[in-house]
Amino acid sequence: MLRYLSSLVILISISFSAAANTEKKVLKLYNWKDYMPQFVIDGFEKESGYRVEEVYYETDELKEELIIQTGGKGIDLIMGSSDGFMNYIQQDGVIAKLEPELNPNFKHLDPSWDQLYPGLSKYASPFLWGTLGIVYRKDLVKQEVTSWDDLLNPDAALHGKILMVEEKRDVFTPALKLLGYSSNETNYKHIQKAAKLLAKQKAFVASYQYFDLTEQSELIDGSIWMAMAYNGDALVLKELNNEIEFVVPKEGTSIWADYIAVLEVSTQKKVANAFINYINRPDVAAKLAQELYYASPNLAAEKLLPKEFLNDPLIYPPTEVVKKSEVVMPLKGRVIGYYNNIYNNMVTQ
């Protein structure tokens, strides 16, 4: 019930501000919380004269719900996953084509991403990329953590001490990889086997949610000992507590990329394009990557990054990890629905 109330609050907030957006110099960004550094917003506001306001969502699914309910009215820019955006470009009237003349910094982006997601670069810009793994307290978890099995078949001491992410596709990755299947699995029997592993693990799971990224984090106060995590989030916490470790399990993982795009309903398309061009400026992109502890898709930005950042295997995964992992790819609606139904039934039971 709370998640739908959260969506309703955001929906009302956007509806009331939609008209004001057309009258004031305001650019609205729909984003995950803590995923756009303040220095980026401050710098763009100073250069453009526009004020940037963020509206937050908790999961990709809640983002989809709001876009369906409102058509995105009142929002200019949207952050999201590559697979979600690939589905968007199959639908008319969701995201607008980017304007090349307003995005000269596109020349700095690694063309490999366009090869992975053909046609997406016409509509959206890659923002950051990273991996999915396990974060844990090494002072509380006594065994060495090397495998997804450590998360799915945990020691008895971890009962009620585990967090799993709230993204319905990502939560299946540990089980699928442990079973030797693809993290982009479409075989219903394989997905069902993964679901059985997750159902068995559920007794150890405190909740399905994202952990806090501040000093009040569950992993810092010790109420949670182990969690699924995106690598940058784990490294943010490691800066706050050196007992926190992150590992990409030996079976491999998902490699994800987040993108930013302009909504078709935006009345500020030129300014929205200017914002995307600004974050693709090499010096901005380099600082952004360092602040969020994620890898940059910007080749010119990489030249400005310190060697210790580029050589950190938890940020830029080594070849042996990449070979065992898979880039997240879009799935057909029927398969996505199957994942969602299993997840919803599992969490609510």
At residue 70, the pLDDT reads: 75
At residue 19, the pLDDT reads: 45
> If you average pLDDT over every residue of the chain, what do you get?
91
Per-residue pLDDT tens digits for 233-267: 999 999 999 999 999 999 999 999 999 999 999 99
pLDDT at 23 over 70: no
Distance CA 301, CA 108 (A): 8
At residue 257, the pLDDT reads: 97
At residue 347, the pLDDT reads: 79
Per-residue pLDDT tens digits for 38-94: 999 999 999 999 999 999 987 777 777 777 777 788 999 999 999 989 988 888 789
Going along the chain from its start, the domains and CATH numbers come out as 2-129+257-315 (3.40.190.10), 130-254+322-348 (3.40.190.10)
Distance CA 327, CA 126 (A): 14
Which pLDDT band holds residue 1 (cuts at 50, 70, 90)? very low
Distance CA 298, CA 342 (A): 37
pLDDT at 208 over 50: yes
Cβ 131 vs Cβ 251: under 8 Å: no
Per-residue pLDDT tens digits for 117-136: 999 999 999 999 999 999 99
* DSSP letters spanning 258-295: EEEEEBTT-S-HHHHHHHHHHHTSHHHHHHHHHHHT-B
pLDDT at 5 over 50: no
CA end-to-end distance (rounded Å), the chain? 15
Span 7-18, mean pLDDT? 43
In this structure, the dihedral spanned by the alpha carbons of residues 280, 284, 286 and 290, taken in order and rounded to 10 degrees, is -120
Per-residue pLDDT tens digits for 156-172: 999 999 999 988 899 99
Its pTM stands at 0.90
At residue 320, the pLDDT reads: 96
Structure tokens at 265: 């309903």
At residue 97, the pLDDT reads: 96
Cβ 43 vs Cβ 278: under 8 Å: yes
- Quick one: which of 113, 147, 90 has its CA closest to 256? 113
At residue 285, the pLDDT reads: 98
Which pLDDT band holds residue 8 (cuts at 50, 70, 90)? very low
Cβ 154 vs Cβ 162: under 8 Å: yes
